[in-house]
Amino acid sequence: MKPVIARTREELAAARARIEGTLAFVPTMGALHEGHLSLMREARRNADTVAVSIFVNPLQFGPGEDFDRYPRTFEADIEACAGEGVDLVFAPDRDVMYPDEPQVTIKSGPMGEVVEGAARPGHFDGMLTVVLKLLNLVRPDVAVFGEKDAQQLAMIRRMVADLNVPVRIIGGATVREPDGLALSSRNRYLSEPERRTALALSRALRAGAEAAADGPEAVLGAAGAVLDKAATADPPLALDYLVLVDPATFTPAAGGGPAVLAVAGRVGATHLIDNVHLQLGKEH
């Protein structure tokens, strides 16, 4: 059975009014893959009803990024949602989400200016703005976001806490291909040679995690060695960043305790990110 599809705010409000019990929400930009489907299953485990949004948000794409070519596969996405028993899909056009040029938006603050935010200025401002708009429109009890975008997840949790948004945020584990590549809608951009190079990202994370017992320098050294080799591959990996950070603040991690090893790079024209959670001072 296909989900109810709401295209306008009025259609969404009418569908939301009919929902009884608890509602879990999975915001997406479409081009759905197994990673998204795993978030829908997590949503189902945490609520009576599941809603998904499909909206490619222009505010979080910078100049020269891939907004125009970002994959849009709406019919296949609806079939995927139906296969997971999703009850409601909100699929607005740009004019529905932004009927006027936004004058008031969310500022991501210092956490939005480091790591991925330094590589993509303004990205997190646009992401947080659309997430808050969606949460206000859908009014879920629970919202589920992927841990692959670790900084995004941390910033959404901070926004919800700082602005007293009445929703519980849940992180869904990263889903990987058998060879370790993290699932991403952008993976479809990669040629076979580019995909082989892209595997260096997950290999670097594994190498860093295996060195967690020896502290931050060992983690970054082990991961960096893998990425240095990938920089000379054909085609090469152009590294954007490799950082070891506190999972809640994304400030540099030091000493023992929980940390996120995060990496991003470009293979050809494709920007890819990945991360792993680890415990510094302990075997991973």
pLDDT per residue as tens digits for the range 108-138: 999 999 999 999 999 999 999 999 999 999 9
Burial class (CB in 10 A: 0-12, 13-18, 19+), 220: middle
Query: Of the candidates 119, 137, 172, which is a domain's last residue?
Result: 172
pLDDT per residue as tens digits for the range 77-93: 999 999 999 999 999 99
Quick one: tokens of 142? 């629970």
| Residue range of the domain that includes 195 | 187-278
Domain presence at residue 200: yes
Quick one: tokens of 146? 């992927």
Residues at the binding site are: 29-36, 60, 146-149, 152, 175, 183-186
Q: Where does the pLDDT of residue 173 fall: very low under 50, low under 70, confident under 90, or very high at 90 and above?
A: very high
**Catalytic center residues:** 36
Q: Is 95 helix (H, G, I), strand (E, B) or coil?
A: helix
Based on the domain organization, do 53 and 137 belong to the same domain?
yes
Enumerate residues 6+ apart whose C-beta is below 8 A from 186.
Answer: 66, 270, 271, 272
- pLDDT score of 284 more than 70: no
pLDDT per residue as tens digits for the range 45-74: 999 999 999 999 999 999 989 999 999 999
Based on the domain organization, do 262 and 134 belong to the same domain?
no
Domain presence at residue 182: no
Domain presence at residue 205: yes
Domain presence at residue 178: no
CATH code, domain carrying 248:
3.30.1300.10
What domain count does the chain have? 2
Burial annotation 260-280 (CB, 10 A radius, 16+ → b, else e): bbbbbbbbbebbbbbbbbbeb
Based on the domain organization, do 16 and 100 belong to the same domain?
yes
Which pLDDT belongs to residue 219?
97
- List the beta bridge partners of residue 277: 260
Based on the domain organization, do 126 and 37 belong to the same domain?
yes
**How much is the mean pLDDT over the chain?**
96
Residues at the binding site for ATP are: 29-36, 146-149, 175, 183-186
pLDDT per residue as tens digits for the range 174-197: 999 999 999 999 999 999 999 999
pTM: 0.95
* Residue 233 half-sphere exposure toward CB, CA atoms < 13 A: 23
Could you tell me where the DSSP H helices lie in 168-233?
A: 192-210, 216-230
Which pLDDT belongs to residue 1?
86
Q: Where does the pLDDT of residue 247 fall: very low under 50, low under 70, confident under 90, or very high at 90 and above?
A: very high
Based on the domain organization, do 164 and 68 belong to the same domain?
yes
Residues at the binding site for beta-alanine are: 60
242 — phi, psi (to 5°)?
A: -140, 115
Domain presence at residue 180: no
Which pLDDT belongs to residue 87?
98
